[in-house]
Amino acid sequence: MILFGTNPIAWANDDDRSIGADIATTRILDEAGRQIGFDGIENGHRWPDEPEELRALLASYGLKFISGWYSTELLVRSVESEIAACQPHLAKLKHNGCAVMIVCETSNAIHGDAGKAVNDRPRLSASEMKDFGAKLEAFAAYLAGQGVTLVYHHHMGTIVESPEEIDALMAATGPHTHLLFDAGHCAFGGGDPVAVLARHIGRVKHFHAKNIRPAVVEKVRAEGWSFLKGVVEGAFTVPGDQEGGIDFAPLLQQLAKAGYGKGGDAWIVIEAEQDPKVRNPLLYQTLGLATLKRLSREAGLL
């Protein structure tokens, strides 16, 4: 079964909490659940950490807790230390029936640093990627034993950004490590979303329907902007936006052909952070969901 979700960063940003700081938490939940009609929502800094309190709050607005970002630091600590560190987050996921843990290595990431150009992100050598992949797979194997699938989020400003790095990570990991495919981060990172998804469709267990504005992305690269400046200036948007550069129809067709959602609930999530003062989240998220549902029906996902 295909479920449609969103992320609260469309309203209130996690990396720069001044973005959307004036928007009430109740407004986020009311718009996402009652007004727009999403099935669920991902984690955000506004939500309570206590697992049952979180479940009850979201449920009161008709929303499920989908999952949430977890920052690994496997480049600088052991697998055992990572397992110990993730316990509160894991407990929250398990209590809420989440199928996946969204993971990204952030020990040296720069996407949250407004003073650094995203072009100056960290990179790993081939041998370093292989070592990182082995540790990530061990961590993923532990999570699998807990009934939760690790899905790795390739992301701007991190060690897995380009299509070549996505390929290298998938090659360096085994059957327990899966992929969160993010169309927007793939395109921003220099990849063709259709081609990259086709290469790894068998390991995709979570899908972020993020769109990009190509003209803004080009300026981020050419002018050495930080990731956060790119966000504020409108690098990202939702499916269906005429300014967006990604065609989601072939991506959803690939998901349908691969049987996405046939083995259990599977999420398609709009994760598209913008400046809410410039681009109204209610309007943009409504457009995004309507577009995804239409394209999903046409693709045979629904």
DSSP 100: E
Range 98-104 average pLDDT: 98
Q: What is the pLDDT of residue 264?
A: 83
Write the pLDDT tens digit of every residue in 239-286. Answer: 999 999 999 999 999 999 999 988 888 999 999 999 999 999 999 999
Q: What is the DSSP letter of 41?
A: E
Type of residue at 41 = I
Instruction: Give the whole-angstrom CA distance, residue 179 versus residue 38.
Output: 23
> Of all residues in the chain, what percent carry a pLDDT higher than 70?
100
Measured between alpha carbons, how far is 116 from 189 in angstroms, rounded to an integer? 16
Is residue 70 very low, low, confident or very high in pLDDT (cuts 50, 70, 90)?
A: very high
Token pair, residue 157, equals 């400003």
Residues 24-32: contacts with CB within 8 Å, 24+ apart?
28/281, 29/57, 29/58, 29/60, 29/61, 29/63, 30/61, 31/281, 31/282, 31/285, 32/6, 32/8, 32/61, 32/63, 32/285
* 18 alpha-carbon distance from chain centroid: 21
Strand partners, 233: none
State the virtual CA torsion across 214, 183, 68, 96 in degrees, nearest 10.
140
Q: What's the mean pLDDT in 4-8?
A: 98
Residue given tokens 């598209």 in the structure block:
272
Q: What's residue 263's pLDDT?
A: 81
Please give the mean pLDDT across all residues of the chain.
97
Task: Spell 85-115 as b/e; 16+ CB within 10 A means b.
Answer: ebeebbebbeebebbbbbbbbbeebbbbeee
Q: pLDDT by residue (tens digit) across 176-223?
A: 999 999 999 999 999 999 999 999 999 999 999 999 999 999 999 999
Domains of the chain: 6-299 (3.20.20.150)
Angle at 1 between CA 249 and CA 53, to 5 degrees: 110
pLDDT for res 265:
86
Mean pLDDT of 88-105: 98
Q: pLDDT tens digits for 224-237?
A: 999 999 999 999 99
Mean pLDDT of the region 40-49: 97
Q: What is the rounded distance in angstroms from the CA atom of residue 29 to the CA atom of residue 6?
A: 11
Tell me the two tokens of residue 298.
């046409």
pTM: 0.97
Contact 230/244 with Cβ under 8 angstroms? no
Q: What is the pLDDT of residues 121-160, one digit of tens each?
A: 999 999 999 999 999 999 999 999 999 999 999 999 999 9
Distance of CA 279 to the CA centre of its chain: 20
Lowest-confidence region among 29-33, 34-38, 247-251, 260-264: 260-264
Contact residues for 108 (Cβ-Cβ < 8 A; gap 6+): 75, 122, 159
Q: Using the predicted structure, report yes or no on whether residue 97 has a pLDDT greater than 90.
A: yes
Q: Which residues pair with 236 in a beta bridge?
A: 212
